[in-house]
Structure 1
Amino acid sequence: MTLPPAGTELGRVDAIPDPGGRVADWPGLPIILARKGDEVRAYVNVCPHAGRPLNLPDGRVIAHAGTHLICPAHGAIFDILTGKGDGALVGGDALKPVPVRVENGLILAA
């Protein structure tokens, strides 16, 4: 797994639903961008339990109650801001973080 080089643009904050997520613009690694208010996180876009992407085929990402991303393959939930799995379906697994920073509304690899 190769992370994007520091400074690589992955998307725009205003393109992510608040709260919610979307797939990043970088083709080198499947990355999902997650947002809750002013906080933005990035994770490898693979459910650690099901091994499937966290986005639907049309690219949408399911966010529940403004706090969790939901795996569409089996319903596991992950905290938007920590990536930590919640509930019995994930057994404590967490999403793998991708370091990012926000500058002038752009989400950049850190």
Structure 2
Amino acid sequence: MILPPPGTLLGEVEGIPDPGGIIANWAEAPIILACRDGEVRAYLNICPHAGRPLNLPNGKVFAHGGDTLICPAHGAVFDILSGACAGGPAGSSGLTPVSVDVRDKRVYAV
């Protein structure tokens, strides 16, 4: 698994829907930035159920009810803040977290 080196700029907080998610700016690996109630998290953009991205081909990310991200392929549901599976075919497998720090309204890998 390739993770961004510490200090890598992944995105701007103002570009992340709250609640919701976007694709990070780092092209080396698929990363999703998610936000709920001003709390920013990052995960590998890979559903643990089938290995598919959580975004649609147009880059949009499904956020349901302000609490969860939904895989468009098979409907697996993940808590925005913990990445834990909250339903669907992923079972007990959650999203893989990417450590981040928010400074000056920017999201950096840690």
State the percentage of identical aligned residues: 59
TM-score by length of 2: 0.97
**Where does structure 1 lack aligned partners over 5 or more consecutive residues?**
none
The residue type equivalent to 1:42 in the other structure is: A
* Partners of 1:13 and 1:73 in 2: CA distance: 27
Q: Which structure 2 segments of 5+ residues have no match? A: none
| Letter of the 1:94 counterpart | G
Q: Which runs of 4+ in 1 moved over 6 A?
A: none
Q: How many residues align?
A: 110
Q: Distance in 1 between matches of 2:47 and 2:8?
A: 23
**Amino acid across the alignment from 1:12:** E
Deviations 1:37-74 (A, max 9, x none): 21000000000002100000000000000000000001
Give 1:1-110 correspondences, 5 Å limit.
1-110=1-110
Structure 2 contact 75–88 (Cα < 8 Å) conserved = no
Q: Distance in 1 between matches of 2:34 and 2:91?
A: 21
What are the superposed Cα offsets for residues 11-53 of structure 1, whole Å, 9 maximum, x if unpaired? Answer: 0111011100000000111000000021000000000002100
Q: CA offset at residue 88 of structure 1?
A: 4.3
Q: RMSD between aligned alpha carbons? A: 0.7
- SS of equivalent to 2:14: helix
